[in-house]
Amino acid sequence: MITRRGFGTGALSLASGSSGVVSPPLRLPPTDRPTVALTLDACPGAFDERLARVLVDNGISATVFVTAAWIARNANGLAFFLAHRDLFSFQNHGARHIPPILGHRSVYGLQPAGTLDAIQTEITNGAAAIVRETGETPKWYRGAAALYSPEAIAPIQAMGFGIGGFSLNADEGASLPAPSVAARVAKAQDRDVIIGHINQPLRPSGAGIAAGVVALKKQGMAFAWLPDPLRT
Ligand SMILES: [Zn+2]
């Protein structure tokens, strides 16, 4: 059973960033067996089919945070996900991968949305692409760079989206070598929400995620999608 205590508290304890942005942590509600959620971002980029195939071959569920920009350039990748939609849930990573941050300071080289209006456009258009292409209505939004202006959190939730936080960073933006990523993932604990990437087939991180989740499964870990966010 999902309780507010079990699921909602993470979104309330914001981890303050050094530049006035936040990354709300998220963990799964407790269940009767050790369970994690693997979430994979499809930022603009390509399709990491090697990782996707390992997930399918091992029956591992994942929540894919897709951008409209990724959908537009990866018809084959989208078709792969849709052919295995018993394993893949589609959630909102925005239309153009614009961080939901007010002001002008860029993060990780990404120009921020700047205004609440621009944030809402990014989210609305991202959701529309998912509905149009998958038939699924996303209930979670994860901003580009997974960073948010604190002032943007309540408006995003008022649009009907949970903030797609995480508790275990597997690949630091697909920047880590495979052995490091695999070691991080293999240490996941019950209720962890793991973040990684599925848009960087030329980087080694994806192979690390694949190895890590296979190791977790051998340990008896179950994999779940993010459940519906709580409404307050
Ligand atoms: Zn991203």
Cβ atoms of 181 and 196 within 8 Å: the answer is yes
Which residues are within 5 Å of ligand 1 (an ion), measured at CB? 41, 43, 144
**How many angstroms does the Cα of residue 29 sit away from the middle of ligand 1?**
24
**What's residue 19's pLDDT?**
59
Which residues, given as ranges, of the chain have pLDDT below 50? 1-18, 231-232
CATH number, domain of 187, equals 3.20.20.370
Q: Mind spelling out the 3-state secondary structure of the chain?
A: CCCHHHHCHHHHCCCECCCCCECCECECCCCCCCEEEEEEEECCCCCCHHHHHHHHHCCCCEEEEECHHHHHHCHHHHHHHHHCCCCEEEEECCCCCCCCCECCCCECCECCCECHHHHHHHHHHHHHHHHHHHCCCCCEECCHHHCECHHHHHHHHHCCCEECCECEECCCCCCCCHHHHHHHHHCCCCCEEEEEECCCCCCCHHHHHHHHHHHHHHCCCEECCCCCCCCC
**How many angstroms does the Cα of residue 70 sit away from the middle of ligand 1?**
10
In a domain, 230, yes or no: no
**How many angstroms does the Cα of residue 164 sit away from the middle of ligand 1?**
12
**How many angstroms does the Cα of residue 1 sit away from the middle of ligand 1?**
30
What distance separates the 2 farthest-apart alpha carbons in the chain?
46
Bridge partners for 65 per DSSP: 41, 91
Number of domains forming the structure of the chain:
1
**How many angstroms does the Cα of residue 45 sit away from the middle of ligand 1?**
10
In a domain, 232, yes or no: no
**How many angstroms does the Cα of residue 99 sit away from the middle of ligand 1?**
9
**How many angstroms does the Cα of residue 231 sit away from the middle of ligand 1?**
25
Mode of pairing for the β-strands spanning 193-197 and 222-223: unpaired
**What's residue 225's pLDDT?**
98
**How many angstroms does the Cα of residue 220 sit away from the middle of ligand 1?**
29
**How many angstroms does the Cα of residue 33 sit away from the middle of ligand 1?**
30
**What's residue 88's pLDDT?**
98
- Tell which phi-psi region holds residue 34, choosing left (phi > 0), alpha (psi between -120 and 50) or beta: beta
In a domain, 180, yes or no: yes
Q: What is the pLDDT of residues 201-223, one digit of tens each?
A: 999 999 999 999 999 999 999 99
In a domain, 102, yes or no: yes
**How many angstroms does the Cα of residue 97 sit away from the middle of ligand 1?**
6
**How many angstroms does the Cα of residue 32 sit away from the middle of ligand 1?**
32
- Domain span holding position 100: 14-221
Question: What b/e sequence results for 3-17 when a residue is b if at least 16 CB atoms lie within 10 Å of its CB, and e otherwise?
Answer: eeebbbebbeebeee
Half-sphere exposure of 88 (CA within 13 A, CB side): 26
In a domain, 152, yes or no: yes
Which of 96, 200, 93 has the alpha carbon at shortest distance from 147? 93
**What's residue 3's pLDDT?**
37
In a domain, 182, yes or no: yes
**How many angstroms does the Cα of residue 7 sit away from the middle of ligand 1?**
23
Bridge partners for 66 per DSSP: 42, 92
**How many angstroms does the Cα of residue 42 sit away from the middle of ligand 1?**
6
**How many angstroms does the Cα of residue 66 sit away from the middle of ligand 1?**
8
Cβ atoms of 58 and 212 within 8 Å: the answer is no
**What's residue 6's pLDDT?**
35
